[in-house]
Amino acid sequence: MTGRLPLDEQLAALRTTLSRNEILLEVLHRAAGLALPGWYLTAGCLFQTVWNVVTGRPPAAGIRDYDLFYFDGGDLSWEAEDAVIRAGGKLFDGLPATVEIRNEARVHLWYEDRYGVPCAPHTSTEAAIDSFAATTCCLGVRLEADGHWRVYAPHGLSDVFHLVVRPNPVLAPPEVYAAKTARWRRQWPELTVLDWPTAPGAPARHDSGTSTARP
């Protein structure tokens, strides 16, 4: 299993797997042209591409959007972020995908209104990725100027390749995790979804309703 390979081989396998998604590759290459500070392509477009390849589905199947995060703490205005979003709209025009661009330095300004819990200001794009509702989602990739793939994976890649979804109770409320995992399991019933912990520090349990547990 890929998740049991040495880390350098897992990284090589990740690049090979993600490269099967031609849309993702095109987004990645075009995004590099924006030269946004601290940018990453992140979240569902990455781990869902892996899920698709592992389960024999078309690489881009079921991927709703491609999240492009960056971090600009020097200007927290909506106008500055909107200018980047508009530039991205022109850059990604013609692709059969929606690219969602967000300045992660601004998340604390709107997060509580949307999710019902306060969010301390993020200090970097990596810090924002750390706060996703599932550790499996905590993954980011960007293309450096020399063509090198920079991969941020604070929880490793084993769960991603093994189709395990593990809760990350650091910011998002459990309702967000429940809604996301319910949607994912409809699309990828092979997933093993671990329960939200019942108390701080409590170990997550296997969801008895999942169909396939992978070693």
Question: How do the domains of the chain map onto residue ranges?
Answer: 2-161
Q: 152 exposed, middle or buried (CB, 10 Å; 0-12, 13-18, 19+)?
A: middle
pLDDT at 199: 63
The angle, 0 to 180 degrees and rounded to 10, between the axes of the packed helices 7-18 and 44-55 is 90
- Report the C-alpha gap between 63 and 86 in whole angstroms: 22
Residues 6+ apart with CB under 8 A from 31: 39, 41, 68, 88, 91, 99, 142, 143
Confidence at 5, pLDDT banded by 50, 70, 90:
low
- When the pLDDT of each residue in the chain is averaged and rounded to a whole number, the result is 89
Identify whether the C-beta of residue 153 lies closer than 8 Å to the C-beta of residue 139.
Answer: yes
pLDDT at 2: 61
Instruction: Return the SS3 of 100.
Output: strand
54-97 pLDDT, tens per residue? 999 999 999 999 999 999 999 999 999 999 999 999 999 999 99
104-158 pLDDT, tens per residue? 999 999 999 999 899 999 999 999 999 999 999 999 999 998 889 999 999 999 9
To the nearest whole percent, how much of the chain has pLDDT over 90? 83
Name the CATH code of domain 2-161 (choices 3.30.460, 3.30.300, 1.10.10, 3.90.1530). Answer: 3.30.460
Identify whether the C-beta of residue 40 lies closer than 8 Å to the C-beta of residue 132.
Answer: no
